[in-house]
Structure 1
Amino acid sequence: MDNRAEVREFLISRRAKVTPQQAGLPDGGNRRVPGLRRSEVATLAGVSTEYYAKLERGAVGGVSASVLDAIARTLHLDDAERAHLFHLAQAANGTSSRMRPRRRAGKRWTPRPSLQGALDQFTAPAIIGNGRMDLLACNHLGRAMHSSLYTATTTTTGEPPNFARFTFLELDAARDFYSDWEGAADICVAILRTEAGRDPHDKDLHDLVGELSTRSPDFRHRWGSHNVRTHGSGTKHFHHHEVGDLELAYESLDLISDPGLTLTLYTAEPDSPTAQALDLLASWTAASTNPSSLD
């Protein structure tokens, strides 16, 4: 991806979101564009207008952390946006490639037996994915919960199911699975945009973004917004075709032994309808994996 273009479009999009009132400035009458002017950002960040204009053209190589911090404060960037700006600067400096963990080329990741065994010990759904939103591993209940994803995105190339392809290319199944498809789609693209900033040389990610941009207007529109997101914890709503609506809290944890991969655990409120639905799904899953239990 073109780093200079990424920086330019990200900064312009964030500047457009900050009103003069939010920045503590007088409105100043009619404005041709929304948000702050370049000169206002420069003044608030303590740099010259010419210098900020150069940054907004994408020239962030060699910019100090203090300047990046000042720009982040001026543009009211949240933690995910600030990290994204720093990742873009690292890419411009050529440091992001040196910081990436080395992986064996051409080899698909599979969980170690000990890791799969740990997954299987969880009684709630548990999955492992990467920043491209590939679903790489799960326990039995995690697979059962995401059965529509596995069914809809089955491939003959050995590729794992991918949440982004499911969300934007399998619309009927995705709109049924996600109770709030619009929100899920926004989050999906923001995660991919965050990953693109973190690892701008990931060819598989480039190919995925190119495919989705070509095939999905919904994705293409969202990709142009340059929103980013840290996806660590929260609540999600799903609709399972067998057991109905699910309201699940989730926690995502980075795997230290496998950089770039994330373990996500889902939990339901005790004695809630969702907990009962998961118990039912778990019993069906146990029965299907142990035919003797049906005798």
Structure 2
Amino acid sequence: MRGGAGSVDGMDNRSEASEFLSSRRAKLTPEDVGLPDVGQRRVPGLRRGEVAALAGVSIEYYSKLERGALAGVSASILDAIARALRLDDAERSHLFNLAQAADGTSELLRPRRRAKTWMPRPSLTWVLDAITGGPALIRNGRMDLLATNPLGRAMHESLYERATGPVPNFARYTFLDDDSRRFYPDWDTAADTAVAILRTEAGRDPHDRLMHDLVGELATRSEEFRRRWSSHDVRLHGAGTKRFHHTAVGELELAYESVDMVSDPGLSLTVYAAEPASRTAHALALLGSLAASTTVAEPQVRKA
């Protein structure tokens, strides 16, 4: 991907780094960082010289970095740039990932996977099935839905039914299927989150050809995706609340916790829960009973 949509190709790392740094600089005002607002500004945001001063480097050096030349930059300089640009944890990690990709260390640091397919261990299946009070799922950084517990399968029934590839994919469903606007009442938030997760993964693993193909497909077919991809926003796994609309039980407002799976690098586990005795809790109980009466065997081999 090139141009406004950006790139996930490792060979275009300079463009990725340049667009990321300039987009973060454009989000800041002098007031944000305690500087006087002096003179006319041709474009929004801080000037390069202001960022350089805040980071304690020369304007020539910072300009070189913002042109995408991150290879060999020390961790202390990256930290200084992150502080100057007021990067959050996700953005700081993304900057370091881009720097690692620039000097080739991302290939060395990336965990090796022994196979192109991922099969949940029996013990992991038992753990998922033991989570009975709420939906639980496992996905990768490309947002492929790899495994669920029975309630998670029931909650995401529409993704399974409407999947166009070998596995359901949250990003593809969000941007290419109008049904997603029914499933996600807060569609804009869901879309922003999906793109930020993909952008984060692209920085972490810039040589993932499946990711490259997915972003290319979405950018070609969805203007909503292209616009968000060009913003260079990133996101780490976390916690919060989400709203869903299920065709069988209606509105669901669920808290969630997401964690990286140490035993399966690159995968994450998300568990949803409803507030006890709430309407959503009763709806989940109904969904669970409906799922138990119409159990469908789940395919267990997934692309990781």
Normalised-by-shorter TM-score class: over 0.9
Instruction: Report % sequence identity.
Output: 70
Deviations along 1:176-223, one digit per CA (max 9) or x if unpaired, are 000110110000000000000111111110110011011111101110
Alpha-carbon RMSD:
1.1
For 1:190, the equivalent position in structure 2 comes to 196
TM-score when normalising by structure 1: 0.95
Aligned residues: 285
**How far does residue 100 in structure 1 lie from its aligned partner after superposition?**
1.0
For 1:230, the equivalent position in structure 2 comes to 236
Equivalent in 143, 151, 155 of residue 133 of structure 1: 143
Deviations along 1:26-66, one digit per CA (max 9) or x if unpaired, are 11132101111011111111000100000000001111111
Q: Which runs of 5+ in 1 are unaligned?
A: 291-295
**How far does residue 8 in structure 1 lie from its aligned partner after superposition?**
0.2
1:165 partner amino acid: R
**How far does residue 169 in structure 1 lie from its aligned partner after superposition?**
0.5
For 1:251, the equivalent position in structure 2 comes to 257
For 1:169, the equivalent position in structure 2 comes to 176
**Partner SS state of residue 30, structure 1:** coil
For 1:149, the equivalent position in structure 2 comes to 159
Are the counterparts in 1 of residues 237 and 259 from structure 2 also a CA contact under 8 Å? no
For 1:111, the equivalent position in structure 2 comes to 120
Q: Which runs of 5+ in 2 are unaligned?
A: 1-8, 297-304
1:212 partner amino acid: L
Question: Are 2:239 and 1:239 aligned?
Answer: no
Moved over 3 A (4+): none
**How far does residue 154 in structure 1 lie from its aligned partner after superposition?**
4.3
Deviations along 1:132-151, one digit per CA (max 9) or x if unpaired, are 00000001100000011111
Are the counterparts in 1 of residues 240 and 256 from structure 2 also a CA contact under 8 Å? yes
Q: Which residues in structure 2 correspond to 1:51-66 (within 5 Å)?
A: 51-66=61-76
Are the counterparts in 2 of residues 110 and 137 from structure 1 also a CA contact under 8 Å? no
1:187 partner amino acid: T
Deviations along 1:56-108, one digit per CA (max 9) or x if unpaired, are 00001111111111111111101100010011011111100111111235x32
For 2:25, the equivalent position in structure 1 comes to 15
Equivalent in 167, 174, 180 of residue 186 of structure 2: 180
Deviations along 1:111-155, one digit per CA (max 9) or x if unpaired, are 112111110110111100000000000011000000111111144
> Equivalents in 1 of 2:259, 2:74: separation in Å?
30
For 2:130, the equivalent position in structure 1 comes to 121
Higher relative contact order (CA 8 A, sep 6+): 2
Are the counterparts in 1 of residues 237 and 260 from structure 2 also a CA contact under 8 Å? no
